[in-house]
Structure 1
């Protein structure tokens, strides 16, 4: 019988997962780290921005096989048919598979995959950073999806074990949506993928329209602490969520995921502070909002003085999958509750 995970354990796992994502992202920009050549490539690929291409496969109801696709590492895959047995080591990609109606074909997921509820009953493949090799081999999957948290070197090692790893690495909302369209092609779920993307585009447009009349001086300064002691700068999807919401990310001069400088945040004086709900700091054992309020000198920050601390669903803002635009709407409502309904 599987042991029942406590809320405390789940919180610790989420913190480990999101911090490993931040570490992987920061390492990717250092030294001789492997560069990602792209987000995945299809011949005449469908585009989430609505650009129509002659002969684009997005207009077809069914995928024409064989299909050639390159993943984010540049590896070319040739699919003779839609994969029947699928595993995922990434919560975002697990959510995408279920959203595309492929739940019955999923034979294994990471220890962190908990949405939708059906994902919890699937065989566990271990960590999102370094999964259980034996479990992956035993799953005998035709294709294993992985995402932003797994470094290319780990993917390469698993491929040496004859595990068919397909990596995506979205940095923007358009990347997320284009990856969904690409998955729709690979798994012959094009119609479902297009409906998902259309819904996500509608969410994004709702937010953009709501804040479009803001003058530069009306835009609020925003600080997001997605994990205790960590924030995010430009070049990542969380920064894009703030910008699309009409906010100014006070960490926008930084690049990628960075540890916060408490003194700098005081100096930046954000008008809104966003944090993930339900997270307890391992060191202080305090919830995020209490941790933020009780920091030395932070009582001088406008967001703290005016009570503009906004808790949002941690998974919606940290998983670049089909629910990411729901996270966008939550952030926008938190910054401008009078504009975004």
Structure 2
């Protein structure tokens, strides 16, 4: 798939001593690493809304970083990270993005660093202080970038709240805390809109949901899309699975979802869903509840994830979410 499929299959650096300090593996860290990408370590402080450096934090892989100052040259290997960085007003510091980055419009004109796994030669040429990427970056790419002494900072939010935490984290690293708080305030407002609208929803009123973001692929527990379905007043019929999984067509027939969501930007995906043998008996198809959602919003747990949440909740409970 153009975006989310690649995020799944794959599903997103130079001399950082001067700009960001030296990265090193965390030693003796016993507390769990936050899925949102990291947390400030004891001894790292902020004054008002300005970050105080040196700043020591961990990323989503458990690696510990000490930033001597805010990064000045940034490469992003993920459309999600890129959206966060631009939302924080860091466009002028971004010196490279992945080939898939298309939002905001300004991202399209940035130098391309290859697909979600990155192109080492392009990244070296960009001379970044830090490279932001998802934990989906394959092992070979991680090893290569680490061998090149690149500061590779990885994140992997698993819930809507963790997506917000990542915005705050990036604001802290880049001395953009006030802007990060503004972005998160809007995200919280949109999430609260859904929570308030569905507060009277009874368990028996929740809709059974199946979501397909790439032909033959759905998502189970432990991922942000499952969290979104729950927040939107739905029950994920694939919740007995873990992570991104290929579907069993027969299992979906048996689950009989009330609503089917699909990534509308994927060519012929709706036609594929409707054309499967026996699926014409599924309640969602019989009731005309096969709903296309923006595949970028579905695939990117960034600043717009709560807009996708609102869209999902409206589709599930149009009488409650306006």
TM-score over 0.5 for the pair: yes
- 1:337 CA displacement: 1.5
How far off is 1:182 after superposition? 1.1
Q: Tell whether 2:3 aligns with 1:14.
A: yes
The match for 1:307 among 285, 288, 291 is 288
Structure-2 separation of matches of 1:195 and 1:44 = 25
CA spacing shift, 1:19–1:213, aligned 2, 3 Å = same
**Alpha-carbon distance, 1:91 to partner:** 0.5
Map Cα deviations across residues 274-333 of structure 1 (whole Å, 9 max, x no partner).
0011211xxxxxx12111111111110000001001110001111111111111111111
Q: State whether residues 19 and 227 of structure 1, in contact with CA within 8 Å, keep that contact through their aligned partners in structure 2.
A: no
Matched residue, 1:318: 299
In the alignment, which of 29, 41, 56 is matched to residue 43 of structure 1?
41
Provide the C-alpha distance between the structure 2 equivalents of 1:249 and 1:126, rounded to a whole number of angstroms: 34
Matched, 1:327 2:308: yes
Question: Which of 53, 67, 75 does residue 65 from structure 1 map onto?
Answer: 53
CA contact (8 A) 1:136 1:163 kept: no
Compare relative contact order (CA 8 Å, sep 6+) and give the higher one, 1 or 2. 2
**Residue-by-residue CA offset, 1:6-51 (whole Å, 9 max, x unaligned):** xxxxxx53364144156x9xxxxxxxxxxx8433120369xxxxxx
CA distance in 2, matches of 1:278, 1:40: 32
Q: What is the aligned partner in structure 2 of residue 251 from structure 1?
A: 238
Secondary structure of the corresponding residue to residue 41 of structure 1: coil
Tell me what 2:27 maps to.
none
Q: Which residue does 2:66 correspond to in 1?
A: 78
* Alignment CA distance shift 1:212-1:151 (3 Å): farther
* Equivalent residues of 1:144, 1:164 under 8 A apart: yes
Tell whether 2:81 aligns with 1:100.
no
Contact 2:120–2:144 under 8 Å retained in 1: no
* Residue 218 of structure 1, CA deviation: 1.0
1:161 aligns with 2:159: no
Unpaired stretches in structure 2, ≥5 consecutive residues: 13-31
Alignment of 1:263-302 (within 5 A): 263-280=250-267, 287-302=268-283
SS in 2 for 1:205: helix
User: Does 2:113 align with 1:125?
Assistant: yes
**Aligned runs of 1:128-207 on 2, under 5 Å?**
128=116, 130-151=117-138, 154-207=141-194
Q: Secondary structure at the match of 1:81?
A: coil
CA distance in structure 1 between the partners assigned to 2:206 and 2:3 by the alignment: 31
Q: Which residue of 2 aligns with 1:6?
A: none
RMSD, matched Cα: 1.9
Q: Is the 8 A contact 1:86 1:108 kept in 2?
A: yes
Q: Which residue of 2 aligns with 1:110?
A: 98
Give the CA deviation at 1:174: 1.8
| Aligned counterparts of 1:318 and 1:15: Cα–Cα separation in 2 | 5
Q: Which runs of 5+ in 1 are unaligned?
A: 1-11, 25-35, 46-54, 281-286
Distance 1:255 1:136 in 2: 33
Asked if the contact 2:61–2:135 (Cα under 8 Å) also holds between the matched residues in 1, the reply is: no
> Using the alignment, how far apart are the partners of 2:75 and 2:203 within structure 1?
46
Determine if contact 1:21/1:148 at 8 Å carries over to the other structure: no
Q: CA deviation at 1:56?
A: 7.2
* Residue 203 of structure 2 is aligned to residue 216 of structure 1: yes
Give the secondary structure class of the aligned counterpart of 1:221.
Answer: strand
SS of the equivalent of 2:277 reads: coil
